[in-house]
């Protein structure tokens, strides 16, 4: 009888210890999520924007929020890349602000391309043209299929390559 009582006591104690351990692990993991940044610019420089409407996009921080146009921002060294997207009847209008320095000076004359992955996995490469009046690069992406579109922008600035990754939903 004594052994049965000790066995029941041991089982109850084990259950309590395991439960406390699981609660502790759950609390620790929630603390890590709260203290971890939403993105690492080196690993995934994707940002969310009001017009990007992408819950999967991570937020990238910028040191110059006053100069933001309200789009997705990637800071890459001395360069500021900001992508704004707008749905149109003919597709999605992409505007890329390519700027340099703390003053965010526009960079005309770069060769800018966007490699867009369609929801079906296929890719399409677009060349963005510089709009001198708007001081940004632009193109209309003609696809209108619903889904999420990851975008890799590459700017060749006098032989120097600058990349930014973005996402938009259609």
Where along the chain do its domains lie? Answer: 1-36, 65-169
Of residues 111 and 30, which shows the higher confidence score? 111
- In 3-state terms, what secondary structure has residue 74? strand
Distance CA 57, CA 38 (A): 9
What's the average model confidence in pLDDT over 154-165? 97
Distance CA 157, CA 47 (A): 22
The pLDDT, as a whole number, for residue 94 is: 97
The pLDDT, as a whole number, for residue 70 is: 83
For 62-92, how does the pLDDT look when each residue is reduced to its tens digit (9 = 90+)?
344 446 678 999 999 999 999 999 999 999 9
- In 3-state terms, what secondary structure has residue 89? coil
CATH topology of domain 65-169: Immunoglobulin-like (2.60.40)
What's the average model confidence in pLDDT over 20-34? 45
Nearest to residue 58, comparing CAs of 68, 44, 71, 77?
44
Distance CA 142, CA 126 (A): 10
End-to-end CA distance of the chain: 70
What's the average model confidence in pLDDT over 149-154? 98
The pLDDT, as a whole number, for residue 69 is: 74
Whole-prediction pTM:
0.62
């Amino acid at each position: 009888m004594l052994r049965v009582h000790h066995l029941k006591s041991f089982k109850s104690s084990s259950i309590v210890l395991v439960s406390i351990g699981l609660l502790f692990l759950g609390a620790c993991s929630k603390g890590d999520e709260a203290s971890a940044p939403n993105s690492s610019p080196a690993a995934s420089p994707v940002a969310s924007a009001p017009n990007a409407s992408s819950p999967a996009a991570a937020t990238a921080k910028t040191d110059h929020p006053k100069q933001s146009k309200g789009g997705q921002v990637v800071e890459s060294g001395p360069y500021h890349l900001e992508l704004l997207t707008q749905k149109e009847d003919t597709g999605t209008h992409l505007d890329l602000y390519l700027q340099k320095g703390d003053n965010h000076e526009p960079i005309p004359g770069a060769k800018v391309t966007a490699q867009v992955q369609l929801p079906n996995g296929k890719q399409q490469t677009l060349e963005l043209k510089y709009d001198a009046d708007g001081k940004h690069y632009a193109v209309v992406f003609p696809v209108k299929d619903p889904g999420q579109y990851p975008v890799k922008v590459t700017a060749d600035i006098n032989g120097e390559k600058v990349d930014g990754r973005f996402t938009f939903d259609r």
